[in-house]
Amino acid sequence: MDNWNEIRTAYQVARLGTVSAAAEALGVHRSTVIRHIDTLEAVLGAKIFLRHARGYTPTDLGFDLMRVARATDEQFSQLVERATADPAELSGEFILTSLYILAPLVIPILKSFQASHPKVIVRYLTGERLFRLDYGEAHVAVRAGLKPDLPDHIVQPFIKTRVGLYASADYIARNGIPQTSEADCLTQIL
> pLDDT > 70: what percent of the chain?
89
**Which of 20, 50, 84 finishes a domain?**
84
Instruction: Report whether pLDDT(141) > 60.
Output: yes
pLDDT reported for residue 35: 94
Q: Cα-Cα-Cα-Cα dihedral of 147, 150, 153, 158, to 10°?
A: -10
Residues 107 and 129 in one domain: yes
- What tens digit of pLDDT does each residue of 90-103 get? 778 889 998 888 88
Range of the domain at 154: 92-189
Contacts of 181 (CB under 8 A, 6+ apart): none
Residue 118 sits in the same domain as residue 176: yes
pTM of the model: 0.44
Of the listed ranges 3-12, 143-152, 177-186, the one predicted with least confidence:
177-186
* Residue 181 clears pLDDT 70, i.e. is over it: no
User: Does 96 share its domain with 79?
Assistant: no
Question: 45: pLDDT confidence band, cut at 50, 70 and 90?
Answer: very high
Among the ranges given (23-32, 42-51, 77-86, 113-122), the one the predictor scored with the smallest mean pLDDT: 77-86
Are 153 and 182 within one domain?
Answer: yes
Residue 38 has pLDDT above 90, yes or no: yes
Give the pLDDT band of residue 188 (cuts 50, 70, 90): very low
Nearest CA-CA partner of 91 in 107, 74, 106, 78: 78
Question: Is residue 172 predicted with pLDDT exceeding 60?
Answer: yes
CATH number of the domain at 49, please. 1.10.10.10
From the list 28, 31, 29, 39, the residue with the least C-alpha distance to 4 is 39
Report CA-CA distances (Å) from 46 to 32, 33, 56, 65, 188: 19, 17, 15, 12, 70
| Gyration radius from the chain CA atoms | 31
Which CATH number is 182's domain given? 3.40.190.290
Residues 56 and 139 occupy one common structural domain: no
Domain count across the chain: 2
Q: Give the pLDDT mean for 162-167.
A: 78
Q: Let me know whether 62 and 104 are in one domain.
A: no
User: In this structure, are strands 120-126 and 55-58 parallel, antiparallel, or unpaired?
Assistant: unpaired
Let me know whether 57 and 97 are in one domain.
no
